[in-house]
Amino acid sequence: KAGVTQTPRYLIKTRGQQVTLSCSPISGHRSVSWYQQTPGQGLQFLFEYFSETQRNKGNFPGRFSGRQFSNSRSEMNVSTLELGDSALYLCASNPTGGPGETQYFGPGTRLLVL
């Protein structure tokens, strides 16, 4: 099976712009989670989607949003970008998001906000 894919891999934006990141989970996986990774804060949970519904959400401002499509592909959107949004954004999928399921991570999208 193909692994989790994320596009684009690298992105440069300026403050105030908005950005959309895409994640295609492993075939058959219905749960997709998003994480932000920065040197200062480490890995932080953004949100999780299952069957097109957001099931869990981390402590991020409303500028961070996401959605999931019927084919389980997910997008994450960040509006009004700030310098502090520069990070590696990781997407992970697993079959049902059940307790203790292994998360399969994508390679990440590195976002640089100038």
Partner 1 sequence: AQTVTQSQPEMSVQEAETVTLSCTYDTSESDYYLFWYKQPPSRQMILVIRQEAYKQQNATENRFSVNFQKAAKSFSLKISDSQLGDAAMYFCAYFNFGNEKLTFGTGTRLTIIP
Residues that bind partner 1 (CB under 8 A): 3, 33, 35, 42-45, 48, 55-56, 58, 88, 90, 92, 97, 99-100, 102-108
Minimum CB separation of residue 16 from partner 1 in Å reads 27
Q: Which is nearer to partner 1, 70 or 102 (CB)?
A: 102
Retrieve residue 62's tokens: 């409303």
b (16+ CB within 10 A) / e for 53-88:
eeeeeeebeeebbbebeeebbbbbebeebeeebbbe
Minimum distance, C-beta of residue 87 to partner 1, in the bound complex (Å): 12
Candidates 29, 18, 28, 36; CA nearest to 77 is 18
| Beta carbons of 2 and 73 less than 8 angstroms apart | no
For the bound state, the minimum distance from the C-beta of residue 93 to partner 1, rounded and expressed in Å, comes to 12
Which residue lies nearer to partner 1 by CB, 44 or 65? 44
Nearer to partner 1, 28 or 40 (CB): 40
Beta carbon nearer to partner 1, 31 or 72: 31
How many C-beta atoms surround the C-beta of residue 50 within 10 A?
19
